[in-house]
Structures are given as structure tokens and as C-alpha cells.
Homo-oligomer: A and B are copies of this chain.
Amino acid sequence: MEELDVAGLLDLTGIFVFAVSGALAAVRQRLDVVGMVVLAEITALGGGILRDLIIGAVPPAAFTSLGYVLTPLVASVLVFHWHPQVARLLPGVLLFDAAGLGLFCATGTIKAMDHGLSPLHAALLGVITGIGGGILRDVLSGQIPAVLYDRQLYALPAMLGAAVVAAARSLGLHGALVTAGAAVLVFGLRVLAVRYGWRTPRPRGVTD
């Protein structure tokens, strides 16, 4: 039996919402149930697997935890049966996704620093943890990764959140409060960006 503390529950929540976004992408691509499960698992676990391979923490957590593998299955069952309702909840899903992004960035940065990476490199790996699964989801769905367009700010809040965690930790501050603070920062920035249509600048002469 795996221990389920607050951090573990938050982790599984992040995995769940990322899996929902993967399963919804499968509906859009008219995939069967198998394709849905594959996309849900990869979206939810891909970023963490990349992180663990890079820091040498093998086998990655996804291959030692039961909850990590089963949670995307649950998300797939829900989306398979009730995807119109889930899609109608999309603004709510976006909120969950923003929360998941914040959590993954923060916990990814912390795990990377625990494995000896410098604050800069740990923040970079925190961002990879947060956005890696979504990139794999989009590539497997035959689309240019949404994060590369960064409409409504996705990667930028992740970078800021990871940088805050890395900076705090290199000043000796850590614990649940820093993690939560950074996750809330990412979440808030992302929600404000969606609300007000903020976006990052594009190169000279580049328009839609």
C-alpha cells in the first residue's frame, strides 16, 4: 500500500487532470478506447518520465507507483462514457490543468535540486516536467505542440513558477509553503492570461 499524504494526493490530482486532457484529445482524433488510454497515460506521465530519465532516477516513478498508472485509466473511463459533459466542463478542466501545471513545475524543480542540479537547470527540468506530457500528447495527435504557440501563456507561467521554487530553495527556503506558493503563482498567471487574452510577443513581422 502506497502512503497517501497531501503531496501524494496533489500529485495524483495533477496526473488526473492531465490524463483528462489527453483523453479529450483522443475524442477529437476519433480514436478507439485503446488510443484514448495510451494518450491519457502519456499526457499524464510523460513529463515526469522525461524528468526521471534525465536525473537518472530509474525506473521512473511512473513505473514503481500503482496510483500513477491507474489514475489515467480512471480518467479514460470517465471521458469515454461522459466526454460531452466533460467537454462542457472545459473551463473547469482548464482550471484543473493550470493547477496541475503549477504543481508539476514546483515538484519537478524540487526533485531535480534534490538530485544535485543547479537552480537554473532544476528550474529548466521543472518546466519540462510540467509541459513534457502535453508536448508528447500533441505530437502523437499529429499537431504542433500547443505550448509552442503559448497563446494565453502556458510555458511562461511555468518558467516563472519553477524559477521561484529554485530561487527559494537556493536561499534555504523549502517545504509545502513554497511549493504551494509557486503553484498558486502559476495557476493565477495562467487564469489571468486566459481571462484577459495576454500573450507573449512574436518576432517582428510575424502575425496570425
B59 touches A63 (CB 8 A): no
A203 touches B83 (CB 8 A): yes
B117 touches A38 (CB 8 A): no
A199's nearest neighbour on chain B, judged by CB, is B32
A90 within 8 A of B: no
A203 touches B135 (CB 8 A): no
B140 touches A31 (CB 8 A): no
A145 within 8 A of B: yes
Identical copies of this chain, number: 3
A149 touches B32 (CB 8 A): yes
B145 touches A202 (CB 8 A): no
Q: Indicate whether A149 sits within 8 Å of B35 (C-beta atoms), given known contacts A56-B59, A80-B203.
A: yes
Looking at the assembled complex, report how far the CB atom of A45 sits from the nearest CB atom of chain B, in whole angstroms: 10
A15 within 8 A of B: no
A156's nearest neighbour on chain B, judged by CB, is B34
Looking at the assembled complex, report how far the CB atom of A20 sits from the nearest CB atom of chain B, in whole angstroms: 13
Interface size class of A (residues with CB under 8 A): 35 or more
B83 touches A204 (CB 8 A): yes
A124 touches B58 (CB 8 A): no
Q: Which of A78-106 contact B (CB under 8 A)?
A: 79-81, 83-84
A197 within 8 A of B: no
A66 within 8 A of B: yes
Interfacial chain B residues near A7, Cβ < 8 Å: none
Interfacial chain B residues near A36, Cβ < 8 Å: 203
Q: Which of A169-208 contact B (CB under 8 A)?
A: 199-208
Contact with B along A138-162 (1 / 0, CB 8 A): 0111111101111100011000000
CA distance A108 to B38 in the complex (A): 18
Looking at the assembled complex, report how far the CB atom of A198 sits from the nearest CB atom of chain B, in whole angstroms: 11
Interface of A toward B, CB cutoff 8 Å: 26-27, 29-36, 38-39, 49, 53-56, 58-60, 63-64, 66, 69, 79-81, 83-84, 115, 117-118, 120-121, 124-125, 135, 139-145, 147-151, 155-156, 199-208
